[in-house]
Structure 1
Amino acid sequence: MKLISSMLLALSLGVFANAAQIKDIANVVGVRENQLIGYGLVVGLNGSGDGSSSEFTIQSLSNMLQTVNVKISPDDIKSKNTAAVIVTAKLPAFARQGDKLDVTISSIGDAKSLQGGTLLMTPLKGVDGDIYALAQGSLTIGGKSQGRNSGNHATAGTIFGGAFVEREITYDIYNQEAIFLSLKESNFSTASNIQNAINLKVSGETAIAIDPRTVKINRPNGVSMVEFLAQVLNIDVEYKALDKVIIDEKTGTIVSGVNVTVDPVVITHKEITIKIEPNSYYDAGNGTIDLQDGIAVDANANMLKVSGERTTIASIARALSKLGASPSDIIAIIENLKRVGAIHVDLEII
C-alpha cells in the first residue's frame, strides 16, 4: 500500500506551467559541465579491502610503492587494506586552476567496505585523455542505509572538495558577437516565444529561432556578453511543458500531467476489466463503490466503470488502487492503454 500511496501522490502533481524564465528551459551552447574520470587506490581500510583475487589492485599497489622508492613484487603483497576504485567528478564551465571539485569514489574490486579509507592522489582525465584535476583525501560514506552503502558494506563514497582543478577549459564568451540557446525540449512554439520575448525586451533584430531547438542571439553594441546574458536568461516567456506519462518500473511510480485524458476503451488485464464509456450511467448496486469523476468500482465483478465526460490517467490509477490492483498491474494497464491508442501523449518508461 505504501507504493500505491506514493504513486497516487505523484499522479496528483501537474506538469503544466504558464510561464518560465529562459534559463529554466534553455541552455547556452558551449556553457556546460565536463565529465572527468580516474583510476586510483583507497588505503587505510581495516581488512575490508580487495582480496588476493583482485590482481589489478595488487599490481597497482606495487607500482605505487615503486614511485616512493619501495620496490616489492606483487607476489609478496598480502594486504587487504587497499581497494582499487574509479573516481569521477564534474568539471563546471569556467572552472579555474585551484578551484575545488566534489568527487565520487566507487570500488571496482571485491572490497567489502571503503569505510575509513583515504584516496591516494588520483589524476582525473577528460574524454581527450588530458589531466584536468587531481583528487586526494579521506572518504565520506554518509548516512545511507540502503543499497551499496548499507551497514558496513559501503563500497562507494564521496570527498567534498576533494579535487583541485589543474587545467582549464577555455571558452571566450566575453568576445563573442552572438550566442546560441539550446532548448531542453524541442518545441516550435517555445522557440518562437523565446525569439519574440527577447526581441520585445531588447530590440527587434536581436534573436532569431533557427529551428525548434535553437535560438541565435546577437549581442547589442555597448554591452558585454556577460551582462547581456544575465538580462536575457531572466526574461519570462510563455511556456507549456509537453504532456507526458512517465513510468518508473523499478519503484512502481507513475507521474502524469493532470490533464492527460484517456479515450473510450475496454481493456482486460488478468482479472481486472476497465470499461470507459463517456456519458453513460451506471447504477451503483451491491458491491459497487462510487468514486468521484464518474468512476465506479464493482468489487464483485472486478470491474472499473468510467462514465464521466472526461477520464484522466490519475483517476484511473486511483480507482485501480481502490480495486486492489498492484503497482505492476497499474503500470501494465497504462502501457496497454497507450498501445491501443487510448492515450495520446508520450509514454516514457525509465
Structure 2
Amino acid sequence: MLAAVLMTVAASGAAEAARLKDIAKIQGVRSNQLVGYGIVVGLDGTGDSQQAIFTVQSVANMLERFGLQVDPAKVKMRNVASVMVTADLPAFVSEGVRLDVTISSLGDAKSLQGGTLLQTPLYGADGQVYAVAQGPVSVGGFTAGGGGTSVTKNHVTAARIPEGAIVERAVPMQFADSQGLSILLNTPDFTTARRAADAINERLGAGAASAIDAATVRVNTALTSPDEAVSLIAQIGMLDVRQDDVAKVIVNEKTGTVVISGNVTVGNVAVSHGNLAVEISTTYNVSQPQPFSRTGETVVVPETSVRATETQSVFQIIEEGSTLDELIRALNAMKVTPRDIIAILQAIKQAGALGAELVII
C-alpha cells in the first residue's frame, strides 16, 4: 500500500500549468468569520445540566424579554443547550443571502439531536452584527441508550444548519484602485511569481505586471470603472501558469503518513535499519501450602520474563542524484514500515544527503 501511494505521488510530481485563479487570489477579496452565542431548544432530555449556570441564566434572560419573570435558581431543564454559532461571510455577498452555520455545544449537553436554534445574532471581529441564524439543527449522527448501555454514531454535540443564517449587512470589498490591483499567490515562490508576471505581460503587453516579491504580483493597469476591473480579473484569471515545485518531504508521525514531492533528490548514502523488539510478559502462579497445614498460606507469585529480538538488517546503497522513484524503490526493498521510513528520512536529512525540506506535522 505504501509503495502504491508513494508511486502515485511520484507520477504526478511534474508540475503542470494551472489557471492563475486556481493558484492565487486578488488582494482585498476575502471572507470574514462570524461568531455568536445561542440557545438550542427542543432537546429530548439531552441538554445542559444545572452545572451549566450560563444556560440557566440565558433562559431566564430570554424569558424576561418576553415579559416572564423567573428565578434562575429554580429553573430546572434538560431540553436546552448553550451553543456557539460560527459561519464564514464570503466576499461580495449581499443582504438577504443565506449562509451555512455550524453549531457547537458550550456546556455539558449529551446531544443536539432534534433541537432548534433560536434567533442568534452573528458578530464580526469589529463587534457589528452581520447575520442572524435560526432553525432546526442537523447533527448527522445519533445517540441512543438504555439499561446502562449506549450507542453513539458520529459527533452529536456539534451540528450544522444549511442556509441557516441570513446576511443583514454586507462587507464592502476594495480590491482595485485607479492604478491597478495586486495578485497574491497561495504558495509564495519567486519562480512562480515571475512566471505569473510574464504570462500577464504576454497577454496585456510589456510592463503591465511586475513581481513585487515571492507572493505578490502587481498589475499596473489604469482602471476607470468596476466593470474594467472585473474584465481584467476575468482575463488574467484564465491564464495558464506553471508552478515551480519545491522539494519537500512531509511526514506525520502520529499516523505514519509520508508524502514526498517530485523534485526530491538524494545524495550518496548507505542506509541500514533494523528493528529491536522488547517483549515483557508476566504470569501469575498460585503457591499453596501442603494439605492440612496449619502454618502455611496461599500466595500469588508473579513470574516475569523479558525477551529481546532484533531483525537482521542489510545496507541499501542510495547513489548520489537519485530521484524520487529510485528513493522509493530503495526504501521498499528494505521492507520497512511507514514509521520506519520516517526515521530513515530523518537520518538521511541529518546526514545532509536529502535534497529537500523535511516537514514534520
Q: Tell me, what secondary structure is at the counterpart of 1:36?
A: strand
Deviation at 1:261, TM superposition (A): 2.4
Contact 1:11 1:254 (8 Å CA) reproduced:
no
1:332 paired to 2:347: no
1:34 paired to 2:32: yes
Deviations 1:190-236 (A, max 9, x none): 11111111111012232111122111113356861001110111111
Structure 1: distance between partners of 2:54 and 2:322 = 59
Match of 1:91 among 78, 89, 94: 89
1:264 paired to 2:268: yes
Q: Tell me, what secondary structure is at the counterpart of 2:244?
A: coil
| Mean CA deviation greater in 19-28 or 92-101 | 19-28
Structure 1: distance between partners of 2:256 and 2:90 = 34
Q: Which residue is 2:119 aligned to? A: 121
Q: Which residue is 2:101 aligned to? A: 103
Q: Within 5 Å, give how 1:234-313 maps onto structure 2.
A: 234-266=238-270, 271=275, 301-303=312-314, 305-307=316-318, 311-312=322-323
Contact 1:304 1:320 (8 Å CA) reproduced:
no
Aligned residues: 319
Match of 1:140 among 128, 138, 160: 138
Deviation at 1:136, TM superposition (A): 0.8
Q: Which residue is 1:278 aligned to? A: none
Q: TM-score, normalised by structure 1?
A: 0.81
Structure 2 portions without partners, runs of 5+: 144-150, 277-309
Q: Note the aligned Cα RMSD (angstroms).
A: 3.0
Contact 1:219 1:225 (8 Å CA) reproduced:
no
Structure 1: distance between partners of 2:340 and 2:317 = 18
| Mean CA deviation greater in 330-339 or 303-312 | 303-312
Match of 1:218 among 202, 217, 220: 220
1:198 paired to 2:200: yes
Structure 2: distance between partners of 1:196 and 1:339 = 38
After superposition, the Cα gap between the structure-2 partners of 1:82 and 1:240, relative to the gap in structure 1 and judged at 3 Å, is: same
Q: Which residue is 1:189 aligned to? A: 191
Structure 1: distance between partners of 2:68 and 2:127 = 28
Q: Which residue is 1:131 aligned to? A: 129
Q: Tell me, what secondary structure is at the counterpart of 1:78?
A: coil
After superposition, the Cα gap between the structure-2 partners of 1:203 and 1:324, relative to the gap in structure 1 and judged at 3 Å, is: closer
Q: Tell me, what secondary structure is at the counterpart of 1:301?
A: coil
**For residue 158 of structure 2, what is the amino acid of its counterpart?**
A
Contact 1:10 1:256 (8 Å CA) reproduced:
no
Structure 1 portions without partners, runs of 5+: 273-298
Structure 2: distance between partners of 1:95 and 1:80 = 38
Q: Tell me, what secondary structure is at the counterpart of 1:224?
A: helix
Deviation at 1:137, TM superposition (A): 0.9
After superposition, the Cα gap between the structure-2 partners of 1:110 and 1:268, relative to the gap in structure 1 and judged at 3 Å, is: farther
Q: TM-score, normalised by structure 2?
A: 0.78
